Amino acid sequence: MTVVAVPGSKSVTARALFLAAAADGVSTLHRPLLSDDTDGFAEGLAGLGYDVVRGAREWRITGRPAGPAVDEADVYCRDAATAARFLPALAAAGHGTFRFDASAQMRRRPVAPLTRALRELGVDLTHEEAEGHLPLTVVADGIKGGAIELDASLSSQFLTALLLTGPLTAEGLRIKVTGIVSVPYVEITLAMMRRFGAEVTRDGDTFTVAPGGYRATDYPVEPDASTASYFFAAAALSGRTAIVPGLGTGALQGDLRFVDVLREMGAEVEIGEGATTVTGTGRLSGVTVAMRDISDTMPTLAAIAPFADGPVRIEDVYNTRVKECDRLEACAENLRRQGIRVETGRDWIEIHPGTPAPVEISCHGDHRIAMSFAVAGLRTPGTTFDDPGCVKKTFPEFHEFFAGIREQWGV
């Protein structure tokens, strides 16, 4: 039985940084995630003139309800989709000229649904190269607000960026969603907005956000449920027990539902008030599961799928094709190189039982591919990675941390 201290949630940390920057007063974030993505987000805020003081376990942000403290800035968002999608919306609610760029990987990822919505709200915004992609420049003069339609079927982050910005508009926002993915992430957004004092409601596909801003808050960041999936999967795969404190019945993050998939496959799962425990039983059954709402854990399941006693079919995960890489295809490619039979379609992957061969995993610069196949490496000694350092995006110490867990378990 091993207690696994998982780092703070990337999703919660990014939202908390936005909310704290927009709030009236000084907010303190407790146990935020320290990673390349969150560091990039915090640096982006600093570049926009916000006062961000970062300690080892606490970050203090002095909010500016009126928007950035500078009237001109050039912000580099690294690989962070949250920074590349949230910060332009935050800046648009202020006054000045703000340019946003990112890594080549992030430049390939779309921002069009968000920037189209901002333009409909009257924001002067220009894509410098490919339409719908970074780099982009925002000439901000506040946002009046109003009613818009949004397609969030590729990423819920487009909706989250607009929701977070809603209280900063003069008249509030009414957003009708025509398509949506990863709904639990939207629920995180709504809960956190309310914690920071905003008034936001949902009626079916329509979200209504009242104007009025945010108030400063002390906010504890819960452990990252997507990261926890690797340790839960490792326990299920190896017949050991992993306990993750801080993720229980009151957790905000939908990715905790990954343990329900492991339960269906045969693992023992207990979700308590303050922790979740997964124990492997020595068997994994085949399963068919739709993972649209927990798609960040799709690679975790795909990597361990060959060890099930029947096919594992993962459905409704088209949005994984527009993440850091085409995750669906990256999983299929690596599994085939390991000698595993795999079929894929536009939004699904089916993986058949087999004994994976040790190969060098092609990470495609994607932290989730690296961490997922590291878990499968428990049963495939000799597995290596072409880019092990890509885990810095969310968990820089992952490989050392995971090696410590392996040593405790003797696997």
| pLDDT tens sequence across 344-362 | 999 999 999 999 999 999 9
User: Given pLDDT bands bounded at 50, 70 and 90, which one contains residue 8?
Assistant: very high
Q: What is the mean pLDDT of residues 272-298?
A: 97
pLDDT value of residue 173: 98
Q: Which two tokens stand for residue 106?
A: 């992030």
pLDDT value of residue 317: 98
- Cα separation, 128 vs 101, in Å, equals 10
- Asked if pLDDT for residue 95 goes beyond 90, the answer is yes
- Asked if pLDDT for residue 84 goes beyond 90, the answer is yes
Q: What is the mean pLDDT of residues 100-121?
A: 97
DSSP structural state of residue 397: T
Decide if 296 is catalytic.
Answer: yes
Q: What is the mean pLDDT of residues 273-295?
A: 97
| 215 closest CA partner among 52, 25, 407 | 25
Provide the b/e sequence for 75-91 (b: ≥16 CB within 10 Å).
bbbbbbbbbbbbbbbbb
Active-site residue among 260, 296, 309, 387? Answer: 296
Could you give the percent of the chain with pLDDT greater than 70? Answer: 100
User: Given pLDDT bands bounded at 50, 70 and 90, which one contains residue 385?
Assistant: very high
User: Given pLDDT bands bounded at 50, 70 and 90, which one contains residue 1?
Assistant: confident
Q: What is the mean pLDDT of residues 316-330?
A: 97
Domains in the chain: ranges and CATH: 69-215 (3.65.10.10), 225-409 (3.65.10.10)
| 245 closest CA partner among 263, 268, 225 | 225
pLDDT in tens, 185-242: 999 999 999 999 999 999 999 999 999 999 999 999 999 999 999 999 999 999 999 9
- Asked if pLDDT for residue 30 goes beyond 90, the answer is yes
Q: What is the mean pLDDT of residues 13-37?
A: 98
User: Beta strand 287-290 with 312-315: parallel, antiparallel or unpaired?
Assistant: parallel
With vertex at residue 358, the alpha carbon angle to CA 355 and CA 364, rounded to the nearest 5 degrees, is 110
**What does the CA dihedral 222, 229, 226, 12 come to, rounded to 10 degrees?**
0
Mean predicted lDDT score pLDDT of the chain:
98
- Cα separation, 125 vs 181, in Å, equals 25
Q: What is the mean pLDDT of residues 150-155?
A: 96
**How many C-beta neighbours within 10 Å does residue 249 have?**
11
Could you give the percent of the chain with pLDDT greater than 90? Answer: 100
Q: How far is CA 352 from CA 265, 285, 335, in A?
A: 14, 11, 10
pLDDT value of residue 137: 98
- Asked if pLDDT for residue 178 goes beyond 90, the answer is yes
**How many C-beta neighbours within 10 Å does residue 282 have?**
9
- Cα separation, 368 vs 300, in Å, equals 8
| 44 closest CA partner among 23, 21, 10, 62 | 21
